[in-house]
Chain A
Amino acid sequence: MDFGQFISYIASGTVYTVGVTLVALPSGLLIGTILALLYVYGGKAAARVMNLYSTVFRGIPPLVLLFILYFAVTKGINLSAFWAGSLSLGIVSSAYQMEIVRGALLSVSGDQLMAARAIGLSRLQAIRYVVLPQAVRLAIPPWSNEAAIVIKDSSLVYALGVPEILRRAQLIGASSQRYLLAYLSAAVIYFLLVFGTTRLLAMLEKKLTIPSNP
């Protein structure tokens, strides 16, 4: 096997890595945002429930949750390794993303919400048109951090046998006995994915920056 084949075998796992990330990150964002809104605006009872959710899912290693979901929960509904892995990571991430969005909402809310209500906007309108657009901007830097973590954590689904980058590196390393090269290749691919993503988000952050005088 020549070097090109060696690399492309590992690199072809990128499809799975990106796939897992593209399920986990947006599902985590959707759940996290909804829960954050409930946390901040849903009253005391909702806040307590959200706090519990956050504490529980941030307190369990993603790999453990992954195994629980795959081996225990999916017995009944026959979830594939890919979906079980992606959704577990999405749930774990949702707890972190909830905290990110919550922080952003809290730092915009208060006065801005009051000013919006003062011109007759309903609470929902005020959140939607005044608080959220500003919160999104504040959330991008910490969210970029979380995106990097999810890309890297996607490697955990290797434990379920999903043929993503790490899994392939492990297989080809074992069969060729060139472990170092295999894992180095995997490291470079992960790095490029993370680097590209954070750069894109940095560009988005810059694009969305509200103009102001220095």
Chain B
Amino acid sequence: MPEPILTIKNLTKKYGENVIFQNLDLTVNEGDTIVIIGPSGTGKSTLLRCINLLTRPDDGQIWLDNKEITARGTDEDKVRQHIGMVFQNFLLFNHLTALGNVKLGLDKVKKMSDKEATEKAMHELARVGLADRADHYPGQLSGGQQQRVGIARALAMDPRIMLFDEPTSALDPELIGEVLEVMRQLALEGMTMLVVTHEMGFAREVADRIVFMEKGYIVEQGSPNEMFNHPKFPRTREFLWKITELYGKKEKEAD
């Protein structure tokens, strides 16, 4: 029986009157890759931001490794160390080199010595295939390379779980492949991942479970086979069909 790393219960987030999602439940087991899909404005990104407490949920609980992180008095900075986050727009620190980006957390949060931090950071850069770009600034890297540095930066903290917020949506089609490849590799290595994406090829091939969210609710979830071939709800079928049509072309171009 696999251990749940992340458990979400009754999670609710509103902005004023506007309910983003309500009473949302989700469990992520160790080593799982879960892909969340759904139309934009459905609360997928907000959900990820609630999980690492960048946004405070209004109601409900989240447990990370059986510890409730939404409890009062939780050290948020500590929680975030254990949750890696990769952003749609990369959000690398522009004034630091690739190495500097990956090192910053090791240096200031983990308080490693400079030598240790450099070694660890170089190891993570090598993991995403960018050891030879260590001294490049974000402005000197392609979008795909920047995103891989973003992944290395998150990995360096040895997170329990990685959150990906549409990691390839801001990329040119020909750069998407290299980022997905790194993510595929991570999944193979057993990293627990929660991925918001429209890349159906990735979802079909890598996901252990696909979660279809719409208007703040989880409509349906299941294995890629169930979701693609025997969805329970017509809405799921409709969305998957549409998105595959739309993004399938882009994937072909990328190959």
| A residues in contact with B153, CB < 8 Å | 119
Our pick among A115, A130, A212 for the contact of B140 (Cβ within 8 Å) is A212
Q: Is A134 an interface residue (CB 8 A)?
A: yes
Assess whether B95 is in contact with A114, with CB atoms less than 8 Å apart: no
Q: A60–B137 Cα gap in the complex (Å)?
A: 44
Assess whether B93 is in contact with A112, with CB atoms less than 8 Å apart: yes
With A130-B93, A134-B94, A210-B94 as known contacts, state yes or no: A121 contacts B54, CB within 8 Å: no
Q: Is A1 an interface residue (CB 8 A)?
A: no
Within the complex, what minimum Cβ distance (angstroms) separates B145 from chain A?
11
Our pick among B89, B91, B104, B140 for the contact of A213 (Cβ within 8 Å) is B140
| B residues in contact with A118, CB < 8 Å | 52, 54, 80, 85, 87, 154
Assess whether B108 is in contact with A121, with CB atoms less than 8 Å apart: yes
Q: Is A145 an interface residue (CB 8 A)?
A: no
Residues of chain A in range 96-133 having any CB-CB distance to chain B below 8 Å? 111-112, 114-122, 125, 129-130, 133
Q: A122–B109 Cα gap in the complex (Å)?
A: 8
**A30-71 Cβ-contact flags toward B at 8 Å (1 or 0):** 000000000000000000000000000000000000000000
Assess whether B109 is in contact with A121, with CB atoms less than 8 Å apart: yes
Measured CB to CB, the nearest residue on chain B to A130 is: B93
Interface size class of B (residues with CB under 8 A): 20 to 34
Assess whether A119 is in contact with B140, with CB atoms less than 8 Å apart: no
| A residues in contact with B116, CB < 8 Å | none
Number of chain A residues close to chain B: CB under 8 A: 21
Q: Is A211 an interface residue (CB 8 A)?
A: yes
Measured CB to CB, the nearest residue on chain A to B135 is: A211
With A111-B89, A112-B94, A210-B94 as known contacts, state yes or no: A119 contacts B137, CB within 8 Å: no
Q: A116–B91 Cα gap in the complex (Å)?
A: 9
| A residues in contact with B77, CB < 8 Å | 117, 120-122
| A residues in contact with B109, CB < 8 Å | 119-121, 125
Assess whether B91 is in contact with A129, with CB atoms less than 8 Å apart: no
Within the complex, what minimum Cβ distance (angstroms) separates A125 from chain B?
5
Assess whether A119 is in contact with B104, with CB atoms less than 8 Å apart: yes
With A133-B95, A210-B137, A212-B140 as known contacts, state yes or no: A117 contacts B54, CB within 8 Å: yes
Assess whether A115 is in contact with B87, with CB atoms less than 8 Å apart: yes
**Residue of A112, A116, A120, A213 with highest tally of chain B CB at under 10 A:** A120
